[in-house]
Structure 1
Amino acid sequence: MRLPDVYDYCVIGGGIVGVATAHRILDRHPGASLLLVEKAAALATHQTGHNSGVIHSGIYYEPGSLKARLCRAGAKQTREFAAAQGIPFRVCGKLLVATDSAEHARMLALYERSITNGVEVELLDAAELTRREPRVTGVGALFVPSTGIIDYTRVTTALADTVRAAGGEIVLGAEITAIDENSDGVTVSGPAGRWRAARLVVCGGLQADRLARLAGVRPDLRIVPFRGEYYQLPPERADLVRTLIYPIPDPELPFLGVHLSPTIDGELTVGPNAVLGLAREGYRKGSVNLRDAREILGFRGFHRVAAANVRTGLREMRNSIFRRGYLAECRRYCPELTVADLLPREAGIRAQAVRADGTLVHDFLIERTPRSVHVLNAPSPAATSALPIAAHIAAQLDD
């Protein structure tokens, strides 16, 4: 088959958001020519393949934000897509556990936000919490029945199958090192080849800011990687809880805290914490990429984030080094856990956009040029929200 000289669409990025975007574009424009290029040798190798596999409900997010709106829609669409494709998932529900009076006050505020966001939530007292999860303790909890678990790598693979079935092409092992946009189209190129398209979508994840700069977009932000370190409980402890167990989040922090997460494969994980990563794609503890480290440590926005979160940063680093500190975070709501229960598991890395003034970008962030759309910030719950994010991008391409 002869490849087109100019594709109708090109998508950079083979995580779940990029592949879902290709899927939505071809669903919206049957017969269009589309190319998806991914730097890695496989799809879903970074954030998509290194998360806890939760189908989020949308309880946490600022009312009216893209996260609040797209997460609710995404949970429904993820379940529907999985059911149609025969991908296992389970709606097990989630308990957000308050362990003291300060957390209880935040829990009540979160309950009010859930009502605003249209998320079904039950308010539980300590006795009802213990009845539902005898090994979990707290002064109260919120139960979110719609939260589920799934394998997002399998979802991405199934989405890629629909892209190929619709005539789309997927090229792996193709790093993009140059992007040239003009009034006629966009040319992307790298060591693996050179391609031209009428429209471009960049879903670069951990490389989003760099790819944007290649295209001439100058966002006032930089991606700062945060390692999320997980542990896995022994197989005989996998039935410790039936539901997802989360702490009450601190609204001043962008991370949800250490939680117990059953997986769709029958395991039970603990995590993640959040420590600065010195390599955007280095999953081993102690990984350092000199370019990444130099950019982070030379970025004034990072200095401001670090100065504003000294105590939190030191605590997370301590807990990363010493398992007993990490364990203490878990024992606040599950006191029977021991150090022996914390078995090693591969870490994940969150791509967190940080502005030059030190502001963390909390919402999804998407910017446009005349012929391209750039996804600049898509942390959790981007996997849950991938299908409606993709529809949002596809609509922007037609605008």
Structure 2
Amino acid sequence: MSARKRHAVIGAGIIGAAVAREILRRDDRAEVTLYEKEDRPAAHQTGHNSGVVHAGLYYEPGSLKATLCRRGVALLREFAAAHDVAVDECGKVVVATTEAEAQRLEAIAARARANGVPDVAMLDAHGLAAVEPGVTGLTALHSPHTAIIDYRGLTEALVADVRRGGGRVRFSTLVSRIEARRGPAGERAIVRTAHDAHEFDRVIVCAGLQSDRLAARSGESRQPSIVPFFGQYFILDDDHDDAVRGLVYPVPDPKYPFLGVHVTRRIDGGLMIGPNAFLSFSREGYSGLGLNVRDSLAVAADPGFWRFAAGNLPMAVREIGGVLSTERFVAEAARYVPSLAGARGRRATRGIRAQAMNRDGSLVDDFVIDRAGPAMFVRNAPSPGATSALAIAEHLVAAAATTSG
């Protein structure tokens, strides 16, 4: 009988938790340790996103992002149903308010069909009114099966599955670095913390906002670097809960790298607007000024950021209005949901996106996975990373098995 394999997974966001569970699902004899520097799972990106289960409308057909998104939707729904995680299939419309947007929307519809998104349909103004009476536009793309979910609750359920499968979960344990060691039995990975060091056959690092730093401390490249962007959400007062039935998005502007302000139903039944996208001065500052000197200096020293900034000044000018003024923020959504004009509410805890960036200032759009002997580093897992988490876990665990023997 072969020896039991020892695995470590770094990071208990939704992807790390899914990876740890997937290892045990494939090999119930495996020994798995899940490390997390916080005292709970889903403390960062997973617990601060919009809760949308993306259907796969926007992604380049055949890309890893598109493939894992569609597979991830199916796995996510299956897991949520089995573990009583809240899901609401509220549907989504992407709304064109100008002729130029209508032309871009046709291209999005073609991508959605190529990606196998079920039951998508183009709507004229009358069709849009039937689906979303409170929304106005020239045309819209309707994705009736797009859903929202409790990602925090789902991640907690994944961690519970890891424990039930015999895995060890180490919260409040910061991993300082991963080291390779070659011995009589082959190459192994040493996971070092401030308190101890343990040897594993394989390590998969899912460190999110800290992925570039942990890779660099482990002797790997600093590139792509992580540049944090925050997204603010505005929770509307209860009297606006019925303004829309589902999710309402604008047509993305190709001049800007993010999707734009949209109207999103919350899994608790409320309604929110957001997010915008602006440079964050902290990787993990979710409230107040969100200023971290180390994180700010890291951005200032990143040549890729300055190249990106030079090419995206119009975006910065547009987005700063919503950062400084909730009225401006709400007005963006009121372009296609007129009843929200002047709506009142409160700012929610912001989210922070771990955006990988190349030295030339280009944003890394697809998933990036680096291998270093027995260690694998997830360097970029952008949206729809949460939607795709269980499919990403399948992909990573399969890849680790083929490269580690």
| Preserved CA contact (<8 Å) 1:57 1:71 | yes
Measure the CA separation in 2 of the matches of 1:340 and 1:334. Answer: 11
Q: Given residue 144 of structure 1, which amino acid in structure 2 is its aligned partner?
A: S
Matches of residues 1-399 of structure 1 in structure 2 within 5 Å? Answer: 8-120=6-118, 121-183=120-182, 184-399=187-402
TM-score (norm 1): 0.96
Measure the CA separation in 2 of the matches of 1:191 and 1:7. Answer: 24
Deviations 1:78-134 (A, max 9, x none): 011000111121111110001111111110111111121111311000111122212
SS of the equivalent of 1:160 reads helix
Measure the CA separation in 1 of the matches of 2:333 and 2:371. Answer: 42
SS of the equivalent of 1:170 reads strand
| Alpha-carbon shift at residue 192 of structure 1 (Å) | 4.1
Measure the CA separation in 2 of the matches of 1:196 and 1:339. Answer: 58
| Alpha-carbon shift at residue 219 of structure 1 (Å) | 4.6
SS of the equivalent of 1:217 reads coil
| Alpha-carbon shift at residue 147 of structure 1 (Å) | 0.5
| Alpha-carbon shift at residue 243 of structure 1 (Å) | 1.1
Q: Given residue 165 of structure 1, which amino acid in structure 2 is its aligned partner?
A: R
Range with greater deviation from structure 2 (157-166 or 232-241): 232-241
| Preserved CA contact (<8 Å) 2:331 2:342 | no
| Preserved CA contact (<8 Å) 1:323 1:339 | no
| Preserved CA contact (<8 Å) 1:31 1:166 | no
| Alpha-carbon shift at residue 312 of structure 1 (Å) | 0.6
Distance 1:7 1:290, change over 3 A: farther
| Preserved CA contact (<8 Å) 2:240 2:340 | no
| Preserved CA contact (<8 Å) 1:58 1:72 | yes
SS of the equivalent of 1:57 reads coil
5+ residue gaps in structure 1? Answer: 1-5
Q: Given residue 62 of structure 2, which amino acid in structure 1 is its aligned partner?
A: G
Measure the CA separation in 2 of the matches of 1:100 and 1:339. Answer: 23
Measure the CA separation in 1 of the matches of 2:54 and 2:195. Answer: 37
Q: Given residue 20 of structure 2, which amino acid in structure 1 is its aligned partner?
A: A
Measure the CA separation in 2 of the matches of 1:18 and 1:83. Answer: 21
Q: Given residue 362 of structure 1, which amino acid in structure 2 is its aligned partner?
A: D
Measure the CA separation in 2 of the matches of 1:169 and 1:250. Answer: 45
Number of aligned residue pairs: give it: 394
Measure the CA separation in 2 of the matches of 1:267 and 1:176. Answer: 38
Measure the CA separation in 1 of the matches of 2:214 and 2:255. Answer: 29
Query: 1:3: which partner in 2?
Result: none
Q: Given residue 97 of structure 2, which amino acid in structure 1 is its aligned partner?
A: T
| Preserved CA contact (<8 Å) 1:174 1:193 | no
Identity %: 46
Measure the CA separation in 1 of the matches of 2:211 and 2:257. Answer: 19
| Preserved CA contact (<8 Å) 1:228 1:350 | yes
| Preserved CA contact (<8 Å) 2:243 2:339 | no
| Alpha-carbon shift at residue 182 of structure 1 (Å) | 2.3
Measure the CA separation in 2 of the matches of 1:226 and 1:31. Answer: 40
TM-score (norm 2): 0.95
Measure the CA separation in 2 of the matches of 1:158 and 1:205. Answer: 20
| Alpha-carbon shift at residue 274 of structure 1 (Å) | 0.2
Measure the CA separation in 1 of the matches of 2:377 and 2:232. Answer: 28
5+ residue gaps in structure 2? Answer: none
Measure the CA separation in 2 of the matches of 1:397 and 1:339. Answer: 52
| Alpha-carbon shift at residue 7 of structure 1 (Å) | 6.8
Give RMSD over aligned pairs.
Answer: 1.3
| Alpha-carbon shift at residue 176 of structure 1 (Å) | 1.3
Q: Given residue 146 of structure 1, which amino acid in structure 2 is its aligned partner?
A: H
| Alpha-carbon shift at residue 252 of structure 1 (Å) | 3.9
Measure the CA separation in 2 of the matches of 1:290 and 1:132. Answer: 47
| Preserved CA contact (<8 Å) 1:249 1:256 | yes
